[in-house]
Amino acid sequence: MVFMFEQATTQVLLSALFFFVIIYSPREASSSRIASFAFAPGVEENSEANALLKWKASLDNQSQALLSSWTGTSPCNWVGITCDVSNSVSSIILQHFGLRGMLYSLSFSSFPNLHKMDISNNLFSGTIPHQIGNLSNILYLDLSNNLCGGSIPEEIGCLVGLNLLNLSNNKLSGTIPFIFGNLTQLTILRLCTNRLFGSIPSSIVNMINLNELDLSKNKFSGSIPSNMGNWTKLNMLRWHTTRLSGSIPFSIGNLINLNDLDLSRNNLSGPIPSCIGNLTKLTRLYLFKNRLSRSVPSSIGNLINLSELFLYKNKLSGPIPSTIGNLTKLTMLHWYKTRLPGSIPFSIGNLINLKELDLSENKLSDVIPSSIGNLTRLTILYLFTNRISGSIPFSIGNLIDLNELILYENNLVGPIPSSIENLTKLTILYLFTNRLSGSIPFSIGNMISLNEIALYENKISGSIPSSIGNLIKLTLNLLGKSIPSELGLLQSLQILDLSCNLLTGIIPTTLGQALRLETLNLSHNNLSGVIPSSFCEMMSLTSIDISYNQLEGPLPDIPSFRNATIAIFRNNKGLCGNISGLTACQTVKSDSYDPKSRKIMLRVLLLTLGILLLVLFVLGVAYVLRRGKRNKLNEDSEAQSQNVYFAWGFEGKRTYENLIEATEGFNNKYLIGEGGCASIYKARLPDGLVVAVKKFCSMLDGEIPNLKVFTSEIRALTEIRHRNIVKLYGFCSHPRLTFLVYEFLEGGSLDKILNNDTQSIALDWHRGMNIVKDLECEAHISDFGMAKFLKPTHPIGPHLQAPSVILPQLAYTMEVNEKCDVYSFGVLVLEILMGKHPGDIIHLLTSSLSTNHNLASKDLLDQRLSHPLNPIAGR
C-alpha cells in the first residue's frame, strides 16, 4: 500500500483513483487480511451493523428515510457501505446525502478495517469525537462541507496511515495539533475555510509526501516555516486569506513540482525571492494583496508555464522585468496598484495568449509599446491612472477581441487612432483625462458593441459623429457636463443611461429625435428647465426616470409618462401633470412652453431683473451707509447697557440660564468643535433636547449690526423648515457673549470630516455622491445666511465661511430665499468634490466670471480619493 503512495507524486486525484481500484478490486484483496478476520467474522459483522444502526437512529427523520436500506444484520449491501472479502466494513461513503445529525453516536472503534470514510457535503454538526482516533486503519478521511465545530481532536494525529485528510469548509476552531506532524503519509491535507487560528506547528514540514496543502481562509497567524523546502512533492500550495506575516522563505525554491501557488490576501512582506524562478512548473502564481516590496526578480521569466500571474495590491517598487516576455503561456496578468515605475517592456508583445492585462494605478511612464498590437486575444486592457505618454498605438486596431479599453488618467496625446473601428467587440471605452486631440473618428460607428464611452477632459474637438448612430446601448459618463445635443442623432439608440452624472443645463430638444429610445434614465442629475415638447414624438419610450433633478413644467403627453408613478418624477423643482403625487398643471397656452419663446421671455426677465438689482444695489448702499451711521450713535450705548437676547422655539430667559447651566458656563468638556472664530458646544437641556451651541469669540469687534434687520433675519432663519438646513432655535447677542443655538446633528461638520484624511477616505466617492444626491449621509447646512453679520475676515462656519461664498445678491437684499439654497448646494457639491472648502475657487469665479474656463476640474477633485469610476468601484 505504501509503495503505491510513493508513486503517486503528481496527479493526486489520479493516484487516489488508482489506489481505490487496487484496494477494492477483489482480485487484489490481500490474503493476510482474510486470515486475520477468519477468527471471529460474525462478531465483527454484528458489531459493525449495530454501530451503524445506532448511528442511523440518532439521525433526523429525513436522514433515516434516506438510509432505509440500513436494516438487518449484514451491512455489506447497505447503501454507502462497502465490505472487504472478510465481510468487514471497509468504506463508508455517504457524500451528498443531505444527512443531518452528529458524529458522537457513531462508535468508531467498531470499524477496525475501515479504510475510507467520506461523509462530505452533508449537514453533520457538533464536534468531531475523540474516538475517531480508533479508526486505526483509515487511509482516507473526508468530513468536508459539513457543520462540524469545536477543535480538531488530537487523536487524528494518531491515524498515521492517513493519506487524505479533508476537514475543509466546517466551523472548526482552535489550532492545528502539533502531533499532526506524525501524518507523514499524507498526500492531501485540506483544512481551508474554517476558523482555525494560531500559528502552523513547525512539525507540519514533516509531511514530506504532501501533494496538496490547502490552509486558506482561516485565522492562522505566524509565518511560513522556513524549512518548507522539504515539501518537494507539493504541487498545490494554497495558503491565502489567513493572517500570514513575515516573508516568503528562500526554501520555496525547492518546491520544484509546484504548479499552483496561492499566498494571496495575507500580510506577507519583504521581496519575492529570486529562487521563485526555480518553480518552472507553476501555472498559477497568486501573490496579490500582500505587502511584498522591491522588484519582482527577473528570474520570473523562467516560469514559462505560467498562465495566471496576479501581483496586484503590493508595494512592489521596481519596474516590470523585460524577461516577462518569456511567459508566452500567460493568459492573465494583473499587476495593478503596486507602485510599479518605469515603462511597459516592448517584450510584452510576446505574450500572445494574454486575455487580460491590467497594469492600472501604477506609476508607469513612457509610451504604450506598439507591440501591444500582437496581443490579439486580449479582452481587457486596463492602463488607467498611470503616467503613460505618447499616443495610442495604431496597432490597437489588431486587438479585435477587446471588450474593455480603459486608458483614462494618463498623458496620452495625439488623435484616437482610426484603427479603433476594428474593435467591434468593445463595450467600454474610457479615454478621459488625457491630452488626446483631433476629432472622434467617424469610424467609431463601426464599434457595434460599444456601451459606454467617456472621452471628457481631453482636447478632442468636434462632436459625436452621427455614425455612432449604430449604437444601441449607451451609458455615458459625462460627469458635470450638459447633455450633448448630438445624442438625438443616435437613431438606433434604445437604451440611454445618463443617471448620476451631475449633469447640468437643460434637456436638449434634439433628444426627442431619438425615436427608437426605449429606456431613458436621466435621474440623479442637476438638469433644469422643462421637458422638451419634442418628447411627444418618442413613442418607443417605455421606461423613463427623471427623478432627482431641477425640472419643472408639464409632463409630455406620451404613454411612458401617463402610466408612470411618482417614483420616476420625484425630487424635482416643479413638475406638474396628471400623476398622483404631482400637482395638476394650470392651464397655460400650449405655446408658452415652446422653448424658443420661452428663451426670449427668460432673457427679457433676466434683463429686467438685472436692472432692478442694480437700482436696488445703489439705493441699498446709500441706505445702509446712512442708517449705519445713525444707528451706531443710537444703539451702541443701548447694546452695551443691556443683554440682547432673542429666542424662538424656546421660553426666553429660562432657556438662556439652562444653556449656561448645561454647558457649565461653556466648559471645555462640552466642546465638540472649533471654527475660525467660534466654538461649538453640545448641551443637553433639562427637557432632554440636545442642542449645539455655537459661541462666537466676539461679534464684529463689539459692533452690533442694525438690530431690527438682524432680529428679523434670525426670525426668518428660525422659520425655515428645510430638511437639509440645520434648524436654528435661537441666538443670544451681547458685546461679550454671542451664540447661536442649533439643532444637534450626530455626524459633526462636513468640513471636519474632509479635513481628516481617514474619515475622508471612508467618506468615499459613493457616499460623497450621496451627500450631493441627498440620499444617505445627508448633509445639513448650518450658519445659513449668517456669515453676513460677521466681519469678512472671520470665518464662522463650515460652509459659508468667507463672504465670497455668499451669494452676492444675499449681501444686498438680506433676504434668505431659494437662491441661497441653490448656491449653498453648489458650494456643498464643490466641497465634497474637492475635499476642502471651495472658497478660493468661488472667489475666482465670481470675481472674473469670463476668464476662468480653463480651470481643470481634475485639479479640484479630492486628491486623496481614487477616481470615481466603475472599474475601481468594482474592486
Ligand X SMILES: *[C@@H]1O[C@H](CO)[C@@H](O)[C@H](O)[C@H]1NC(C)=O
Give residues in contact with ligand X (CB under 6 A): 61, 109, 130-131, 133-134, 155, 206, 208, 227, 229-230, 253-254, 256, 274-275, 277-278, 299, 397-398, 400, 419, 422, 499-500, 521, 523-524, 543, 545, 568
Rounded CA gap, 127 and 150, in Å? Answer: 5
Task: Give helix 818-834 / helix 839-847 axis angle, nearest 10°.
Answer: 120
Rounded CA gap, 32 and 638, in Å? Answer: 117
Beta strand 123-127 with 100-102 is: parallel
Contact 99, 63 (CB under 8 A): yes
Q: What is the DSSP track for 772-821?
A: HHTSSS---B-STTTGGGS-TT---SSSS-SGGGS-HHHHHH----HHHH
HSE, CB side, 13 Å, CA atoms: give it for residue 230.
14
Closest CA to 419 of 439, 397, 452, 389: 397
Q: Least separation, in Å, of the C-beta of 773 and ligand X?
A: 9
In this complex, which beta carbon is closest to ligand X, that of residue 134 or of residue 314? 134
DSSP state of 103: S
Alpha-carbon distances, residue 321 vs 59, 163, 347, 773 (angstroms): 60, 41, 10, 46
In this complex, which beta carbon is closest to ligand X, that of residue 546 or of residue 691? 546
Rounded CA gap, 129 and 149, in Å? Answer: 11
Q: Least separation, in Å, of the C-beta of 431 and ligand X?
A: 17
Rounded CA gap, 756 and 351, in Å? Answer: 44
Q: Least separation, in Å, of the C-beta of 494 and ligand X?
A: 14
Rounded CA gap, 415 and 437, in Å? Answer: 5
Rounded CA gap, 771 and 139, in Å? Answer: 61
In this complex, which beta carbon is closest to ligand X, that of residue 543 or of residue 597? 543
Q: Least separation, in Å, of the C-beta of 59 and ligand X?
A: 10
In this complex, which beta carbon is closest to ligand X, that of residue 68 or of residue 543? 543
Q: Least separation, in Å, of the C-beta of 61 and ligand X?
A: 4
In this complex, which beta carbon is closest to ligand X, that of residue 807 or of residue 872? 872
In this complex, which beta carbon is closest to ligand X, that of residue 547 or of residue 804? 547
**In degrees, to the nearest 5, what angle opens at C-alpha 91 toward C-alphas 87 and 95?**
145
In this complex, which beta carbon is closest to ligand X, that of residue 473 or of residue 632? 473
Contact 167, 190 (CB under 8 A): yes
Closest CA to 699 of 804, 787, 571, 575: 787
Q: Is 341 helix (H, G, I), strand (E, B) or coil?
A: coil
For the chain, count helices (H), then strands (E).
17, 40
What is the amino acid identity at position 64?
A: Q
Q: Least separation, in Å, of the C-beta of 566 and ligand X?
A: 13
Residue reference for cell 486628491:
863
Q: Least separation, in Å, of the C-beta of 213 and ligand X?
A: 15
In this complex, which beta carbon is closest to ligand X, that of residue 196 or of residue 276? 276
In this complex, which beta carbon is closest to ligand X, that of residue 273 or of residue 620? 273
Q: Give the ranges where 431-581 is alpha helix by DSSP (H).
A: 559-562
- Of all residues in this chain, which one has the CB nearest to ligand X in the complex? 397
Rounded CA gap, 565 and 357, in Å? Answer: 45
Q: Least separation, in Å, of the C-beta of 568 and ligand X?
A: 6
Q: Least separation, in Å, of the C-beta of 453 and ligand X?
A: 18
Q: Least separation, in Å, of the C-beta of 240 and ligand X?
A: 24
Rounded CA gap, 497 and 487, in Å? Answer: 12
Q: Least separation, in Å, of the C-beta of 606 and ligand X?
A: 33
In this complex, which beta carbon is closest to ligand X, that of residue 567 or of residue 609? 567
Residue reference for cell 495590491:
313
Residue reference for cell 479615454:
431
In this complex, which beta carbon is closest to ligand X, that of residue 210 or of residue 263? 210
The secondary structure element, H or E, covering residue 738 is strand 738-743
In this complex, which beta carbon is closest to ligand X, that of residue 451 or of residue 521? 521
Alpha-carbon distances, residue 775 vs 521, 552, 599, 865 (angstroms): 18, 21, 33, 21
All three cell numbers of 192: 481551508
Contact 209, 186 (CB under 8 A): yes
Contact 295, 322 (CB under 8 A): no
In this complex, which beta carbon is closest to ligand X, that of residue 242 or of residue 419? 419
Contact 329, 303 (CB under 8 A): no
Q: Least separation, in Å, of the C-beta of 324 and ligand X?
A: 17
Q: Least separation, in Å, of the C-beta of 375 and ligand X?
A: 13
In this complex, which beta carbon is closest to ligand X, that of residue 497 or of residue 862? 497
In this complex, which beta carbon is closest to ligand X, that of residue 23 or of residue 132? 132
- Classify residue 423 as exposed, middle or buried by CB count within 10 Å of its CB (0-12, 13-18, 19+): buried
Q: Least separation, in Å, of the C-beta of 511 and ligand X?
A: 16
